[in-house]
Amino acid sequence: MKIVCKNDELISAINIALRAVSSKTTMAVLECLFIEARNGKILMTSNNMELGIKTEVPGRIDEEGQVAVNAKIFSDIARKLPVGNINISVDENYSMFINCGKAKFRIAAQSGNDFPVLPEIKKDSFITISEFTLKEVIRQTIFAVSDNEATKIMTGEHFEINGKNLTVTALDGHRIAIRNIELKKVFDDKDVIIPGKTLNEISKIIEGDAEKEIVIYFSQNNILFELENTIVLSRLIEGKYLNVKQMISPDFDTKIKINKKELMDCIDRATLLVKESDKKPIIISIENSSIRLNMNTSIGTMDEEIDVEKDGNDLLIGFNPKFIMDVIKVIDEDEITIYMTNSKAPCFIRDEKVSYNYLILPVNFSTAR
């Protein structure tokens, strides 16, 4: 194999492919990048058996072939080379020669015959969505995905397609994040659970261009994201997602409208008094046309008042400050609306169109004051 690539374009492809390289494995081949040059294309593949990525590398093919090379070593060399064209060749003994300017490397590689190819999936069930929309949906929900492998279902996000509607849900037992998206056309109904780790990697790969479309293909066990020059294939999480609809109530006894930045800045100041190991709630007292936020820790106390628009009853309630911050950081509006029932029932943060709906469970603050 003999190929020539520009330094920056090779590194860009490596950065994408590295996201599916296995870091903890007993199979050395899974620590490799599989490079193949044929049919006029240079393709780089990685596969950790849960997530697989194949991306095209711009360049010139002087001799077709394939090779598997340790991803870390190959990546480290590429990053340290001077700017310019990189010449890569592989001999019959699978020694890889990397030349750029006056720098020359020879490293051991392998044939790649044992590298696990990405499975082919039928492309008859799919949706299309813009890069921008998908990136935003992930940003506005991924924080609520659980990292507890004991509750496997909660480590993924529920994608439910119903006609033109896409509903994306994430939950971790303490909060729920829901985004409702209107697609550009009607698609077949679908109900899948996508690993949060996969969505995290997708979000980092795509640029978020509103003009670029992503095609998402579904099969029984896998999901395939088809980008402009890259495909990302992932296993789906098996099982039935929790029925969050029965947890969502339109009823409320207290409703407040509040400036998002004021609330965010206030909570941010309050958490200055919280040690990393502490789980101190922020206490919110709602009276008349203002709310008072209180934090009481071993470091000190903090008390601040914010003007709000209030409908309904006065209320005293406590929350994990991180959970509130995670939500308001991803809302783009200047003003948010919070719905509450009592000090032991979840609060809801949602807009009028319910394009987003966040549920946060309160915490017991009887010993925190």
What is the CB neighbour count within 10 angstroms for residue 105?
16
- CA–CA separation, 76 and 72 (whole Å): 6
Half-sphere exposure in the Cβ direction for 90 (13 Å, CA): 21
b or e along 208-217 (b: 16 or more beta carbons within 10 Å of the residue's beta carbon)?
Answer: eeeeebbebb
Q: Which of 122, 4, 108, 121 has the alpha carbon at shortest distance from 63?
A: 4
Task: Please give the average per-residue pLDDT across 230-255, as a whole number.
Answer: 93
Q: Domains in the chain and their CATH numbers?
A: 2-108 (3.10.150.10), 126-246 (3.10.150.10), 248-360 (3.10.150.10)
Q: What is the mean pLDDT of residues 219-236?
A: 96
Q: Is pLDDT at 367 greater than 60 in this prediction? A: no
- Is the overall model pTM greater than 0.85, yes or no? yes
Quickly list DSSP for 310-336.
Answer: EEE--EEEEE-HHHHHHHHHH--SSEE
Over residues 53-110, the pLDDT tens digits come to 999 999 999 999 999 999 999 999 999 999 999 999 999 999 999 999 999 999 999 9
What b-and-e string marks burial along 169-193, b requiring 16 or more CB atoms within 10 Å of the CB? bbbbeebbbbbbbebeeebeebebb
Residue 366's pLDDT is 65
For residue range 6-57, list pLDDT tens digits in order: 999 999 999 999 999 988 887 889 999 999 999 999 999 999 999 999 999 9
Does pLDDT of 355 surpass 50? yes
Give the span between the Cα atoms of 25 and 3, in whole angstroms. 29
What's the token pair of residue 91? 């001999």
Q: 317, 362, 308, 366: which is closest to 337 by C-alpha?
A: 308
Q: Provide the mean pLDDT of the chain.
A: 94
Q: How many CB atoms lie within 10 A of CB 7?
A: 17
Residue 368 has pLDDT above 50, yes or no: no
The string of pLDDT tens digits covering residues 201-214 is: 999 999 999 999 99
Tokens at 270, concatenated: 């309050």
Banded pLDDT at 369 (limits 50, 70, 90): very low
Higher pLDDT, 155 or 276: 155
Residue with tokens 């509750």: 151
